[in-house]
Amino acid sequence: MQDINQFQFCSRRTVNPEGDTLVNYSLGLCGEAGEIADIIKKCEFQGHNYNSEIIHKLSKELGDVMWYVSNLAYKIGANMSDILKINEEKLQKRFPNGFEAIKSIERTE
């Protein structure tokens, strides 16, 4: 299994130097998230099944999302493990006992 920082390092190998920008990575991330949403929409509302082929497609798209996230992180000078740690700390502070709807509704940040 690959370490998340190793993934970030390896993903830099496939960067197009002309597109090595925050704008490219942000738009690419949105595009890939849209592809995931479209697959789920088809399963939820158009009769497609969550079969092994769909799960494989979703997995590939999630990998593309991670590629864009890791390169966006790189461009702002952050490594992926630090981003995950920051998110974990934020969620621990927000929901110390796990998710609670009332804490989400009354959230001040």
pLDDT per residue over 64-102, tens digit each? 999 999 999 999 999 999 999 999 999 999 999 999 999
Q: Alpha helix (H) ranges present in the chain? A: 4-11, 22-45, 52-75, 80-94, 101-105
Q: What is the pTM of this model?
A: 0.90
Distance CA 61, CA 31 (A): 10
What would the two tokens of residue 2 be? 């690959």
The pLDDT, as a whole number, for residue 60 is: 98
Count the alpha carbons within 13 Å of 14 in the hemisphere toward its beta carbon.
9
The pLDDT, as a whole number, for residue 109 is: 77
Give the CATH fold of the 4-78 domain.
Answer: Helix Hairpins (1.10.287)
